[in-house]
Chains A and B, each alone.
Chain A
Amino acid sequence: MATKNAEALAAANKKYEWGFSSDIEQEFAPKGLSEDTVRFISAKKNEPEWMLEWRLKAYRHWLTMTAPDWAKLDVPPIDYQDAYYYAEPKAKPKLGSLDEVDPEILRVYEKLGIPIEEQKVLAGVEGSRRVAVDAVFDSVSVATTFRAELEAAGVIFRSISEAIREYPDMVRKWLGKVVPMHDNYFAALNCAVFSDGTFVYIPEGVRCPMELSTYFRINAENTGQFERTLIVADKGSYVSYLEGCTAPMRDENQLHAAVVELVALDDAEIKYSTVQNWYPGDENGKGGIYNFVTKRALCQGKNSKVSWTQVETGSAITWKYPSCVLAGENSVGEFYSVAVTNNRQQADTGTKMIHLGKNSRSTIISKGISAGRSDNTYRGLVRVGPTAENVRNFTQCDSLLLGDQCGAHTVPYIEVRNPSAQIEHEATTSKISEDQLFYAMQRGLDQEAAVALIVNGFAKEVLQQLPMEFAVEAQKLLGISLEGSVG
């Protein structure tokens, strides 16, 4: 079987399709990290005094912290003084519509392979499906579409820097409530130097009329991307938020330390989907993004629900644990994840479900696919507090190994302090079976298509949770990410 599998495993070392770098004038903060850098960013964003104080407090706290080393990752030392913490595209001062966007940026979107529907939206095609896009180009949000229509529904969809200026009370109320500044090393760093991101507020009883979408992309050399997302779903509201990432090819490793905070009040629901295909580095592990992300949702209200869906195919190193604090009665947390690693990629990803509310439920479905010389780790925590009655959790983590040079690891933590909880955890590790491959190939598929088909089948439970546009992109991505690993 080893030979068969090896057979199943060679081929295409296709270049990173989205590896390009566009020339847009940028304005940089001075290189390095100090209180001055923090002040520079804050001044650049015209932030109020309280915001600057908040950032400085975070920065000072960050100085006292050390980078976490418990993950199964081999992270080379990062020189935080050797990076730019702020890069703003020098475009027009204010943008009224997409036409005003730098054509270079629009071309970048095209190359990014933004789903057809959204391209239409960006191109302004009449009658196209409505998706609102807030694009973060490097660190500053340059275009926000459909703002007016969203505003008619009462939905606030802003870049976070605008929101800090326009809705200071609301931002102040929630910023750092779910992920406090002292939460972890990378969250503290983000609090100090975050340059932009998205703020969404869905008012009581409103079902957001369209899916909200953001594309993050690291462009300039040596700039870290530190975006910040805050989504507040008020009572009885619903929002589906899509986040997609691609980054161009750069030889040096780039740091990405984002923080995403979600708050769901009574009966509210947030669906947060991510397709992440940052540049993973070349086949020898040179270059690539370091992705250290803190994502956490607070299901504060009764019957609230947060669903995380992620397809992780990129980044040289992924350190990411989208979590749910299920504080509300009957609250629901879901985590669906596909993580693909190839070549020398390393991923340590999973979730935390913290059950504090009665009758709270959570589901975790994690599919890890390792190929090449990569390492893929699922790390999860399910915790049930003493007052959380009748908690139900189901966890399934499956790993698929393509080749004998990669690793698949599962590290689930289960901590239960209430006897009425029902916690189940299942995990399996397997490889693509010879029979499956043979069957698919004798029906006329070539090896790569057969593997892509089987892998898509393996990840189906997760992919079907994605909104339509993303599902198509994600399926394509899975195939592309594994090219060269099987043959």
Chain B
Amino acid sequence: MSLKLRAMRRWLPKRMDTLTLPSARDEAWRWSDMATLEAAREIKRVAGHVGSTARIGDGPRLVFIDGYYDPDFSEPGDLTLERVEFTSTHPLGQFAAGQGYELRFPPASFTAPIEIEHVVVGEESHLPLRFVLDDDAVVSVVETYSGGGWSNRLSEFSLGKGARLMRAVRLLQDEGFVSIRDEASIGEAASYVATFLGAGGMGSRIDGFLRLDGVGAFAEMGGALLTRGEQKQEAAVAVHHAAIEGTSRQVWRAVAADASTASLAARAEVARHAQKTDGEQSLRGLLLKRTATINLKPELEIFADDVKCAHGATVGELDAKALFYMQSRGIPEPQAKALLTHAFVADALDRIGEESVRDAFKADADAWLEAAL
């Protein structure tokens, strides 16, 4: 069914005025860059940008410009966008509350990778989206953020029994700020995998709360944050195990150059009855300059006794021995550094299942590395 929806979503400026941004005094926001977010709201609107990112496949394409669905640039194919109301108590999510869209995927359906583009041409834009996957539905989504300004997104995911969602999200805005709030409820034997790549010039906060509600559910949220200049990017993700035999993986990599800051906070929560949980966190940071900062917080909150939870966190520079070895084999230093950094980032991006998507993300990461190194 083709879509001819006009931009119908309107937030209420009056209510927005009463909302306040979280402050660094709040423990969960101590590494957040709210100053950049404030500045991003002031970025003047400019024309252009639209449709500038290259297509990855030939599946459906949904384009949102400044938080409004744009039917002219979109190719929704069989997708139906329904208008629904959203509420949120999350400090940034509440800015996006109000009217948004829901995408529903019927049982046992299979959808070619959906490309969603969030184009922002300045100031602030807010958009809530909901993805409902019925039992055994298989969906792949690629989201791209481009432009400049404050993009604030609230995404809700509901996965039925045996459903599978593969999400790849890249933050490629030239400037401004991207804030993403994801909330997922994962059903029995369902699988939710989200991989993020922050390789633009903007500041960011990727904030997620994944709830494993069904027995044997699987959740993965991870990715790579690449920062340079004075940029600050942050991921703060919590995975909540509410049912038995759940598995979660949080694999994050951060590369910080110049005077930038990359922060990763990952939390695994295991409820009292969620026995046989298998949780793993791997947070690694790579500092390219002595003026850069990496913050890590791998957090565990465990109330059940028959669980396997482990986390590992490391920060450092490139391994001098590996560099030396590569140079001894005739690879010049800059290239050796690039190769090792590339491999470091690839750890996180390799989690993307779809080959064409993975290649596109790696190309974006490579472009960043080339510029930064």
Contacts and interface: CB of A to CB of B under 8 A. Distances in A.
Interface in A342-389: 384, 386
Given A402-B305, A411-B299, A429-B302, A419 B288 contact: yes
A37 B297 CA distance: 42
Contacts of B317: 419-420
B309 interface: yes
B303 A407 contact: yes
B298 A412 contact: yes
A357 to B, nearest CB: 15
A425 B272 contact: no
Contacts of B300: 399, 408-410, 427, 429
B272 A404 contact: yes
Contacts of A46: none
A421 B298 contact: no
B285 to A, nearest CB: 7
B27 A70 contact: yes
6 contacts: A72-B301, A401-B305, A407-B303, A414-B315, A418-B287, A424-B312
B290 interface: yes
B163 to A, nearest CB: 29
Contact of A414 (B288, B297, B301, B308): B297
A348 B27 CA distance: 15
B299 A410 contact: yes
Per DSSP, are chain B's interface residues mostly helix, strand or loop, or mixed?
strand
A327 B292 CA distance: 20
B68 to A, nearest CB: 39
A23 interface: no
Interface in B259-316: 272, 275, 285, 287-316
Nearest to A5: B305
B313 A1 contact: no
Contact of B298 (A70, A403, A425): A425
Contacts of B297: 411-414
Contact of B306 (A5, A384, A418, A424): A5
Interface in B62-114: none
A423 B290 CA distance: 15
A213 B251 CA distance: 46
Contacts of B292: 417, 419
B275 A2 contact: yes
Interface residues of A, number: 39
B290 A386 contact: yes
Nearest to A422: B316
A414 B290 CA distance: 16
Nearest to B287: A419
A483 B294 CA distance: 43
Contacts of A72: 301
A424 B314 contact: yes
A399 B302 contact: yes
A415 interface: yes
A417 B263 CA distance: 12
Interface in A28-53: none
A351 B308 CA distance: 24
Nearest to A398: B310
Q: Which of B306, B307, B315, B316 has the most CB of A within 10 A?
A: B315
B311 A425 contact: yes
A426 interface: yes
Contacts of B299: 409-412
A424 B312 CA distance: 7
A401 B313 contact: no
Contacts of A421: 287, 315-316
A337 B295 CA distance: 24
Interface of B: 27, 272, 275, 285, 287-317
Contact of A423 (B288, B302, B305, B314): B314
Nearest to A393: B315
Nearest to B296: A414
B258 to A, nearest CB: 12
A431 interface: yes
A128 interface: no
A419 to B, nearest CB: 3
Contacts of B293: 415-417
| Nearest 9 interchain pairs by C-beta | A419-B287, A419-B317, A401-B305, A425-B313, A414-B296, A410-B300, A416-B315, A423-B315, A431-B305
Contacts of B301: 72, 407, 409
A404 B305 contact: yes
Nearest to B297: A413
Contacts of B27: 70
Contacts of B291: 386, 417
Given A423-B315, A424-B314, A425-B314, A416 B302 contact: no
B264 to A, nearest CB: 9
A13 interface: no
A403 B308 CA distance: 15
Among B27, B272, B306, chain A packs the most CB atoms within 10 A around the CB of B306
B306 A1 contact: yes
Which among B299, B303, B305 has the highest number of chain A CB atoms within 10 Å?
Answer: B305
A436 interface: no
Contacts of A422: 314-316
Nearest to A392: B316
Contacts of B307: 429
Given A401-B305, A404-B304, A419 B272 contact: no
B306 A2 contact: yes
Nearest to B320: A420
Nearest to A6: B305
Nearest to B303: A407
A410 B311 contact: yes
A442 interface: no
Contacts of A410: 298-300, 311
A405 interface: yes
Nearest to A375: B303
A428 interface: yes
Given A407-B301, A426-B312, 4 more contacts: A386-B291, A410-B298, A426-B310, A431-B306
Contacts of A2: 275, 305-306
A414 B304 CA distance: 26
Nearest to A411: B299
B277 to A, nearest CB: 10
A42 to B, nearest CB: 34
B290 A419 contact: yes
A420 B288 CA distance: 10
Contacts of A399: 300, 302
B306 A412 contact: no
A402 B305 CA distance: 7
Contacts of B285: 414, 416
A422 B294 CA distance: 12
